[in-house]
């Protein structure tokens, strides 16, 4: 079933993590597709993205 959402969030510390804005990247993915997309981005971040704490994450549809 395709019901996962991949989103991007940037947070430099745990204090800002919960309130950081989430930007939807793609909807309607399977669990495996969402895992692969996040792993690919997170494993290939630029130094600037690492400094900003930018990562791809995923959740089940409707939970964003």
Structural domain total, the chain: 1
What pLDDT score was predicted for residue 63? 66
User: Tens digit of pLDDT for each residue in 4-56?
Assistant: 999 999 998 888 888 999 999 999 999 999 999 999 999 999 999 999 999 99
15 is in which domain, residue-wise?
4-60
What pLDDT, on a 0 to 100 scale, did the predictor assign at position 2?
Answer: 79
Please tell me the pTM assigned to this model.
0.87
CA pair distance 8, 57, nearest whole angstrom: 6
Q: How far apart are CA 49 and CA 63, in angstroms?
A: 25
- How would DSSP label each residue in 1-64? ---EEEEEEE-SSHHHHTTS-EEEEEEEE-HHHHHHHHHHHHHT--HHHHHHTEEEEEEETT--
């Amino acid at each position: 079933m395709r019901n996962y959402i991949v989103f991007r969030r940037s947070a430099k510390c745990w204090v800002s993590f919960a309130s950081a804005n989430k930007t939807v990247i793609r909807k309607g993915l399977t669990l495996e597709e969402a895992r692969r997309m996040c792993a690919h981005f997170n494993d290939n971040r630029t130094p600037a993205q690492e400094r900003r704490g930018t990562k791809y994450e995923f959740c089940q549809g409707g939970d964003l």
